[in-house]
Amino acid sequence: MKCLISPKLKQYDHRKYSQQWLNQLTQRYAYHALMTQAPLQGFTVEQEETLEDGTIRVVLAKWV
């Protein structure tokens, strides 16, 4: 899943917010998009964990 942000908005955010803040925002957006879209496409969450560095690891499964 790719997050598309307009160049103007991205430049503005870099001036106003830190890169760490933008990374966390992107991670949260991707997580919520995944959790919303996965069930709609027949996937179930098999495993979910947050690693020491803040990475969220999600394992999905789909029975065919």
pLDDT in tens, 16-48: 778 888 889 899 999 999 999 999 999 999 999
Beta-carbon count within 10 A of 37 CB: 11
Is 15 inside any structural domain? yes
Is 2 inside any structural domain? no
Which pLDDT band, with edges at 50, 70 and 90, does 64 fall under? Answer: confident
User: Nearest CA to 19 among 56, 27, 33?
Assistant: 27
Statement: the pTM of the whole predicted model exceeds 0.75: no
Residue by residue, DSSP assigns 1-64 as ------HHHHHHHHHHS-HHHHHHHHHHHHHHHHHHHHHHTT-EEEEEEE-TTS-EEEEEE---
Is 16 inside any structural domain? yes
Contacts of residue 17, Cβ cutoff 8 Å, sequence gap at least 6: none
Is 12 inside any structural domain? yes
Domain count, the chain: 1
- What is the domain range of residue 36? 7-61
Is 28 inside any structural domain? yes
